[in-house]
Amino acid sequence: MVDTWVFAVITLIYLTVIFYLGYLGYKRTKGHDDYLIAGRKINPVVLALSYGATFISTSAIVGFGGVAGQLGMSLMWLTVLVVMVGILIAFIVYGKRTRRLGRKLNALTFPDLLGKRYGSPFMQGVSALVILVAMPLYSAAVLIGGARFIETTLSVNFDAALLAFALIVALYVILGGLIAVMYTDALQGGIMLVGMIVLIILAYSLLGGVTQANADLGALVDQVDPSAISGLVAGGFNGWTAMPDAGSPIWLTLITTITLGVGIGVLAQPQLVVRFMTVKDDRALNRAIAIGGPFTLIMTGVAFTVGALSNVWFFKQDGLTAMQAVDNNVDQIIPLFINQSMPDLFVIVFMLALLAAAMSTLSSLFHTMGTSAGYDLRQYINLKRKRPIKDAEDHAERRASFKASRVGTLAMIVVSVIVAYLMPISIIARATAMFMGLCAAAFLPSFTHALYSKRPSTIAAKASLAVGTVTWFMWTAFVHIKESSAIGLCQWLFGRPSLLDSPWTVVDPLVIALPASTLVMIMILLIQRQRAVIPTTA
């Protein structure tokens, strides 16, 4: 166990700096636009670190790092996809057009962007509702990731660690808005980067160097007790340095849920999209790519590599695989490996890196949920009522929604904490993939259409949003076995945990829902073109 007093002093210094940055955000938040969109004047370095730190949370380090401990280096395909899609395509294909359109429409949130582009209260209101329903799942997973590491490191009660996390983040998010969030994200991103670079160096040094450690990992599958991996082998597992059998249950989970769910889902995450609207020009986005790309590569690559290599260390110590060492709780692999194998001083450094990872992502999620509740839903109600707004009334409404956003943030923090307490073990990576997959299925086609069409079709966007969302929820509740068996609705209605048989039970909802939402949009656009109908707004 680490020296509690040393950790307490270092953590106090860290939190002092965090709260100071939050105070700066509070002082510089003069109005509505500052709170929601950081005044559209964020530095590109801050943008890059904030974007990366928001994307790479304890879900990636603890959750997916733990999955790498279970399944091996095959998770590196996710690293490739998040760099190519989550950074390059996100910034170049989506980022620049989002920034320009956001400024042109004076959009302040992701639902606001869709609502104004389509001239549709439905698009803004329903998008906000999807966020409010689904995002607590992701924020709860991030909370669990940080709390698990504190629990393992300091022998602190898990419930107390989780609650303290939420309270600390709540304070500077509610007061400082997006400026405070992005300032603190930048600092936290720097801490995360240092921690992960030191981690990979220490891990390989501990295991005899890069060549020796990788060779040992490759040979490990032939050395462990076959009963320890019998379930994995039956699912298509071929070792910690090889891909699973193509088409096997593990392969389908790896590709459809982990790689595609996260790799594609990043393009339509509301908390990331809004960051494109915080800079003043395209040059800032170009500069951010040079920082965001290497940052994401290092963060995910190190987490997945160390997760897989933990099997070598556990086997040398006790003759166990990583999953055996943690009694099959994937979320405990990284915390246990760090605490048992690393020097005490580094454990403290890594603890701060995880705190930073969790807090940076949580602050963004809390802010997004709060603005969805306090701003977007208010806008939806006002637009549906078609209430005329004069200048003075508009100012009063902005002040009211400003306050409502803060209240909404607090309310959604409470919801997230409750969800975290209710979630089962080994849930971090799965909950993250679920949220990101839903974002892609619900938002990506209409978001893309909004950016690239000169006259976007409101009807097509509405249909795509509805079909993507409903299809994702139906597949989750009635087919995908991990969720359908836990929800129990399918069992109650039909007497079986899933309506379909293997391999469909392990095919992620994203693979069904995203093509469905895309196809519906394309079909409606083709019908409108054939009828020479000019899309109208609603």
- The domains of the chain, with CATH numbers, are 4-436 (1.20.1730.10), 453-538 (no CATH)
DSSP state of 75: G
Q: Whose CA is closest to 29, among 173, 165, 147, 205?
A: 173
pLDDT digits (tens, 9 = 90+) for 450-463: 999 988 999 999 99
Of 375 and 535, more confident: 375
Give the 3-state secondary structure of residue 5.
Answer: helix
The pLDDT value recorded for residue 391 is 40
Contact indicator for 345, 195 with CB cutoff of 8 Å: no
Distance CA 405, CA 410 (A): 9
pLDDT given at position 517 = 97
Between 178 and 205, whose confidence is greater?
205
**Averaged pLDDT for residues 157-178:** 71
Secondary structure (H, E, C), 405-464: HHHHHHHHHHHHHHHHHHCCCCCHHHHHHHHHHHHHHHHHHHHHHHHHCCCCCHHHHHHH
> Whole-angstrom Cα distance, residue 190 to residue 148?
22
State yes or no: pLDDT of 388 exceeds 50. Answer: no
- DSSP letter at 89 equals I
Spatial CB neighbours of 195, under 8 Å, sequence gap ≥ 6? 349, 350, 352, 353, 354, 356
Over range 392-403, report the average pLDDT: 58
Task: Report percent pLDDT > 70 for the chain.
Answer: 85
pLDDT at res. 236: 92
How far is the C-alpha of 486 from the C-alpha of 466, rounded, in Å?
Answer: 24
**Mean pLDDT throughout 210-239?**
91
- Average of per-residue pLDDT across 234-256: 91
Please say whether the beta carbons of 509 and 264 come within 8 A. no
Nearest to 55 by CA among 448, 365, 439: 365
Percent of the chain topping pLDDT 90: 32
Cβ atoms of residues 171 and 15 within 8 Å: no
Q: What's the mean pLDDT in 381-404?
A: 58
| DSSP type of residue 498 | -
Give residue 41's pLDDT: 64
Indicate the pLDDT class of residue 180, thresholds 50, 70 and 90. Answer: low
Contact present, 458 and 123 (Cβ < 8 Å): yes
Helical residues (DSSP H) of 29-64, grouped into ranges: 32-37, 44-55, 58
The answer to whether residue 191 scores a pLDDT higher than 90 is no
Whole-angstrom CA distances from 204 to 71, 302, 318, 382 are: 19, 11, 19, 58
Lowest mean pLDDT, pick from 60-69, 196-205, 388-397: 388-397
User: 495 or 19: which carries more pLDDT confidence?
Assistant: 495
Written as six digits, the tokens of 278 are 């915080």
Average pLDDT of span 495-510: 90
Reading the block at residue 190, the tokens are 């720097």
Question: If DSSP codes are grouped into helix, strand and coil, which group holds residue 325?
Answer: helix
Between the alpha carbon of residue 447 and those of residues 113, 277, 349, 439, 482, the distances in Å are 9, 14, 39, 11, 29
Q: Specify the higher pLDDT residue, 515 or 399.
A: 515
Range with the poorest average pLDDT among 55-64, 233-242, 342-351, 364-373: 55-64
Distances (CA, A) of 341 to 67, 215, 309, 346, 369: 19, 20, 12, 10, 38
Question: What is the structure's pLDDT at 389?
Answer: 44
- Nearest 10 degrees: Cα torsion 183, 185, 186, 190: 150
- What pLDDT is attached to residue 450? 95
Summarize the confidence of residues 173-196 as an average pLDDT.
71
- Give 288's pLDDT tier (boundaries 50, 70, 90): confident
- Give the pLDDT of residue 61: 82
Question: Does residue 535 surpass a pLDDT of 60?
Answer: no
434, 487 Cβ separation under 8 angstroms = no
Query: Rounded to 5, what percent of the chain is helix, strand, coil?
Result: 85, 0, 15
Tens digits of residue pLDDT in 478-494: 999 888 888 888 999 99
- Mean pLDDT for the chain overall: 82
Is the distance from CB of 446 to CB of 408 less than 8 angstroms? no
CB 513 within 8 A of CB 471: yes
54 vs 449, higher pLDDT = 449
At CA 231, angle to CA 225 and CA 234, rounded to 5? 110
Is 1 a residue whose pLDDT tops 90? no
| pLDDT score recorded for residue 538 | 47
Q: Phi-psi bin for 535: left (phi > 0), alpha (psi -120 to 50), beta?
A: beta
CA distance 522 to 12: 54
